[in-house]
Amino acid sequence: MLALLCHAGAWAEGVDSMAVRDLAAETELMLETSATAASGTFAPLWLTSNRYGLGSVEPYSNYERARVERPIGNDDARKWGLGYGLDVAVAFGHARSFVLEQAYVEGRYRKLGITLGAKQQPIEARDVELTSGGLSLGANARPIPQARLDVDWFGIPGTRGWWQWKLHGSFGFTTDGRWQQAWHTGLERYTHNVLYHEKALFWRFGRVDVLPLTYEFGLQMATQFGGSTYNGQGRGFTEPTTFHHPHGLRAFWNALTCQGSDRTDGLQPNTSGNTLGSYVMALKYHGERWQARAYFERFFEDQSMLTVQYGIRDMLIGGDAQLPQNPFVTKVALEFLTTTNQSGAVYHDRTPNIYDKMNGRDNYYNHLLYAGWQHYGLTLGNPLLTSPMYNEAFGHEGSIRFYNNRLKAWHVALTGDPSEEWHWRAMLTFTRNWGTYNVPLRDRLRQTYAMAESTYTPRWASGWQAALAVGLDHGKVLGNSFGGQLTVRKSLRLKQ
């Protein structure tokens, strides 16, 4: 495969044989082992979350991981670029014993890029090391295999660089159908062979060389469609019922254009599949000694929150800053998240007697037909909206639904670099939780999540790194838990 990739790059740009040999020389190998032990029913949240599915909710877990990768960023100085990666793990206490975390190949010519396979993608407009997570497209669950097209930041003609845009779109498929079938109870619902679509368009205004201030605005959307839904008797059906959803060209077109309807919509058609997304905004200061960014994300389910018809009551608003070089604090972030409104508590379709329609009870991350906004039981969005893997805490073990999606949270995170060898990170999150509109908690419950992590990269042991983290959960949502996590890595670059 490597030889084919090298040949394709040489053909596209006419590179010489030395550049082709560089592709092999720039391949990186990383070996990693990680173990977690905790006292509670679940491992502390921040030892599990925003790790692209490589964290486990179980109190005792470990994995052995191997990754071979050539980052496409190695070719930033060239018009063309090639990258590939294979990332696998053998795990204990995880959803699966064998984890195919990443397997992809990607190419780029100038601003146009194509990625085939499962690859970890960053969260837009924030720092993944500091943030609590994205609301629609986050870093919490395992990557979904996709065929993805990217157009990187590109100047609008005639604007002299003041106005730029970028976009991406993809189609893929989820891989957790067998896990869902094994996890669910006979009275619940699971899905198989579900297809996936994702798209985003971002604009950026400003020129840093003239004024060190830029503003970004974007719309990102995703859809689960196709596949099959298996409903148990506990989902309002008198007997187990199966729905096979359309998966032809029309289904792909409906996912792309947010059209169509589902078989269960009746006289009140909705957008086909599970469609959601968010508006993302960021104002960033690009200073010479320090940088700062304020960001805002507004989530929506289907069409009810796509406009401001019901106001802007649910949001994630925050800011982060990179401070001037010092031995104490390098970066800091503060976020506030509220998801309690969800278009209001009332939902009512039009009828011959009552024509007014109320689009409330959006029930974030849940869907009537699909298994919700999750992959292998972990949310694809923000982990503070409690993932199905934690449903034992709500008395719904085996259910692939979200039972705590109405909450308010304050989140603060800091990092520091006391020296070239040491790096630390600390996170603290306070939440108040209401459950869902349909299944509310008996009382408003509080939960606190905390973590402190220290990473050591010794100069005397080239390529080695060790990270030790301790986490603490306290409250009545997920209960109390205290635990630690030790991760050791060895990386090297393959040479000619």
Nearest to 135 by CA among 321, 274, 255, 300: 300
pLDDT of the residue at 310 = 72
Distance between CA atoms of residues 423 and 119, nearest Å: 26
Would you list the DSSP string of 61-123? EEEEEEEEEE-GGGGTTSSEEEEEEEEEEEEESSS-SEEEEEEEEEEEETTEEEEEEE---PP
The pTM (predicted TM-score) of the whole model is: 0.91
Specify the 3-state DSSP secondary structure of 391: helix
Task: Judge whether 75 and 49 are in contact, CB under 8 Å.
Answer: no
pLDDT of the residue at 368 = 85
| Domains parsed from the chain with CATH numbers | 42-60+108-493 (2.40.160)
Task: Judge whether 235 and 400 are in contact, CB under 8 Å.
Answer: no
Distance between CA atoms of residues 483 and 485, nearest Å: 7
Q: CA angle at residue 319 from 315 to 322, to 5 degrees?
A: 160
Distance between CA atoms of residues 223 and 227, nearest Å: 12
pLDDT of the residue at 459 = 94
Distance between CA atoms of residues 423 and 22, nearest Å: 31
Task: Judge whether 361 and 344 are in contact, CB under 8 Å.
Answer: yes
Neighbours of 263 (CB within 10 A): 12
User: Could you tell me which residues come within 8 angstroms of residue 249 by beta carbon, excluding any fewer than 6 positions away?
Assistant: none
Specify the 3-state DSSP secondary structure of 351: coil
Per-residue confidence in pLDDT tens, the chain, 496 aa? 434 334 444 444 444 444 555 666 689 999 999 999 999 999 999 999 999 999 999 999 999 999 999 999 999 999 999 999 999 999 999 999 999 999 999 999 999 999 999 999 999 999 999 999 999 999 999 999 999 999 999 999 999 999 999 999 999 999 999 999 999 887 788 999 999 999 999 999 999 999 999 999 999 999 999 999 998 654 555 556 888 898 899 999 999 998 877 766 655 566 778 999 999 999 999 999 999 999 999 999 876 677 777 778 899 999 999 999 999 999 999 999 999 999 876 554 555 555 455 566 789 999 988 999 999 999 999 999 999 999 999 999 989 999 999 999 999 999 999 999 999 999 999 999 999 999 999 899 999 999 999 999 999 999 999 999 999 999 999 999 999 999 999 999 876 5
- For 134, the token pair is 């994205």
pLDDT of the residue at 358 = 54
Task: Judge whether 255 and 225 are in contact, CB under 8 Å.
Answer: yes
283-293 burial string, b = 16+ CB within 10 Å, else e? Answer: bbeeeeeebeb
pLDDT of the residue at 11 = 40
